[in-house]
Amino acid sequence: MHPELRKAYEDEMAAARYCYRAGREAAAMAHLERAHVLGQRHVALHVATHRWMLKIGLRRRAPRQVWGQLLRLVLGALGSAVGIVPTGNTGGTDIGMLRRLPLDPAVRRLLDKRAGTPPIARDRV
């Protein structure tokens, strides 16, 4: 993973954890969604974002969100492992698991720096 991409992911995760601990679940979720887009091609990072999204669902006592994140933990890990992920998907249960979304230009620049991976225009999902 390119160092700039890794730093951006880590910054978003740190902000999400801070917001979560402060009881600001909506803000935490926004940071997790951005971290998801940045890290979804890497199994461990992808799983970590869904684990934190699951924690938010549990805290909110939102059964749909909990179930959706449990499913995404398993299927997201598999998708990352085989290299099939929907570019731009934020990982929340309000978005279909396979739906591609437009990328923020700053995120696109970071993702374009990925070493050894095909350009985003060639993503399979």
| Range of lowest pLDDT (6-15, 55-64, 87-96, 110-119) | 110-119
Per cent of the chain over pLDDT 90 is 82
Task: Determine the pLDDT at residue 117.
Answer: 52
Reply yes or no on whether the pLDDT at 125 is more than 60.
no
**What pLDDT, on a 0 to 100 scale, did the predictor assign at position 63?**
97
Phi then psi for 62, rounded to 5 degrees? Answer: -110, 95
- What residue ranges do the domains of the chain occupy? 3-122
Q: What is the pLDDT of residue 12?
A: 98
- How many angstroms separate the CA atoms of 67 and 102, rounded? 26
Average pLDDT over residues 22-34: 97
Give 43's pLDDT tier (boundaries 50, 70, 90): very high
**22: three-class secondary structure by DSSP:** coil
| Residue 118 pLDDT | 52
Confidence at residue 34, expressed as pLDDT on a 0 to 100 scale: 97
pLDDT score of 61:
97
pLDDT at residue number 115: 47
Please determine, for residue 105, whether its predicted confidence score (pLDDT) is greater than 80.
Answer: yes
